[in-house]
Amino acid sequence: MTDKNTPIQPSELAKISRALPFWLSLGLAPLAWVGAIYGGWALLIVPVTTWYLFTALDAALGLNTENADVSANDDAMYWYKMITIIWMPVQFVMLASLLWYVPQAEHLSSIERIGVFFGVGVITGTVGINYSHELMHQKDRMERWMADVLLAMVLYSHFRSEHMLVHHRYVATPRDPVTARYNEGFHRFYPRVLRESLISSFAAEKAMLARKNLPWTNRSNPFWRYWALQLTFLALAFALGGWSGVGLFAIQASVAIWQLELVNYVEHYGLSRKHLGEGKYEHVHPHHSWNAAHKASNWLLINLQRHSDHHYKPDRRFPVLQNYGPDDAPQLPFGYPLMTILAMMPPVWRRVMNPRVRKWRNMYYPEIADWKPYNSANNPMPR
C-alpha cells in the first residue's frame, strides 16, 4: 500500500506553484556556463550543486510522503510535462554553445576544458538521461522522439531499447543486466552492464523483428535511428569544435553514462523476484525496487526515487508516482545524490546496504535459504 495521506486532488496538482520546485533542474544549464567563463574553482559549481547541495537540502527539508490522485489527467499535469519538453532544446543549446566556446577559450587550460565538460556530463546524465527516461515511457510520438535525441547527445541511444524491452521485463532477476547483484561492487557492475546492456538491447530488438519474420537489418530496427542520431551529434561536435570538440563531447557522454549507471546500480541493488520454476518469476511488486522519499532530490530527479511505483506502474507520469512506506517497499537511507557517492566506495556501500538487503530477504522471502543462484551471473536461474 502507498502512504496513507489524503491524495492531492487534480485541481490542486494542476497549480503551477506545485510544479515549480521540479523546475529547479533548469538552473543547472547556466551553471555550466559559469564554469566555462571563470574556470578554476568555478568548475566545481555543477558537481557541488547536484551532489552536495541537494544532499544538504534533503537533510534540511526531510521526506515528502504526499501522493497525488492517480486519476489526474494530462491537463492537470501540464506544468510538469512542460519541464521535460523544454529540457531537450535547453540541453541542446547548452551543449552546442559550449562545444563552440570552450575549444577556443584561451583563458581555459586543457584540464579546465575537460572540467567544464565533466560538469556538462553531470548535467546531461543527472537531468538529461533522467528526462529521456520519463519521455520514452509516454505514448506521444514526439515525446519518445525527444527521448531519442537526448540519449543521442550522450551516445547511449540503446538505453531506450534496453530499458523498455529488457529491464522492465526482467528487473530483479539474473536475466536483467542492470540489476546489481548482492555484494557486487559498482566497479564490477559498471563494465559488466556496459557490455551486457548493449548486447541484450540489440538482441531484444532483433527478436522482435524475427517474430515479424523480418531481419535485424530491416529499417524499422530503431538501432538505425540510434546510430544516425549519434553520428549526427558527433559530426556537430566536430563542426563546432574540431577534434577537440569531439573529444570534449565524448568526455561529457562518458560522464553522463557513468551517472546513469550509478543510479541504475542503486535502484535495485541486491533485490530479487522469487523464482517460481521453469524459468518463471513472480510479478514485479513495489518491494523489488528501492524507494526514497527525500524531498529535494526528488525535485531534481522528477520523482525518479519513487522507483518502487515506477516499476509497479510504468505508464504513470512522474507527478502521480506514488510513495511507498517501509511496510511495502525497502527504503534508502539517503537520496540518490549521496547514495551514488557511497556506491563509489564499495566497503562503505556494503556496510550501509548489505544489512538492509538481508533484512529485506528475511521480511519478504524467509523461505528462501540459498540465494546464490539469484546472485551469480555464472549460475543464473533456469530460463
Cα diameter, the chain: 65
Quick one: pLDDT at residue 378? Answer: 46
Quick one: pLDDT at residue 38? Answer: 96
Distance CA 36, CA 108 (A): 8
Distance CA 149, CA 143 (A): 10
Quick one: pLDDT at residue 376? Answer: 63
**CB atoms closer than 10 angstroms to residue 141:** 8
DSSP letter for 220, please: T
Quick one: pLDDT at residue 2? Answer: 57
pTM of the complete model: 0.94
Q: Which helix (H) or strand (E) holds 11?
A: helix 10-13
Tell me the three state secondary structure of residue 356.
helix
Quick one: pLDDT at residue 374? Answer: 80
Strand partners, 291: 331
Helices (H), 222-272: 222-268
What the block records as the C-alpha cell of 228 is 544516425
**Would you give per-residue pLDDT tens digits along the chain (383 residues)?**
555 568 999 999 999 999 999 999 999 999 999 999 999 999 999 999 999 999 999 999 999 999 999 999 999 999 999 999 999 999 999 999 999 999 999 999 999 999 999 999 999 999 999 999 999 999 999 999 999 999 999 999 999 999 999 999 999 999 999 999 999 999 999 999 999 999 999 999 999 999 999 999 999 999 999 999 999 999 999 999 999 999 999 999 999 999 999 999 999 999 999 999 888 899 999 999 999 999 999 999 999 999 999 999 998 999 999 999 999 999 999 999 999 999 999 999 999 999 999 999 999 999 998 888 887 654 454 44
DSSP letter for 48, please: I
Quick one: pLDDT at residue 317? Answer: 96
Strand partners, 281: 275
Half-sphere exposure of 378 (CA within 13 A, CB side): 0
What the block records as the C-alpha cell of 336 is 540518490
Quick one: pLDDT at residue 277? Answer: 87
Residues whose CB is less than 8 angstroms from the CB of residue 291 and which lie 6 or more positions away in sequence, other chains included: 305, 306, 307, 308, 309, 323, 324, 329, 330, 331, 332
Strand partners, 324: 2
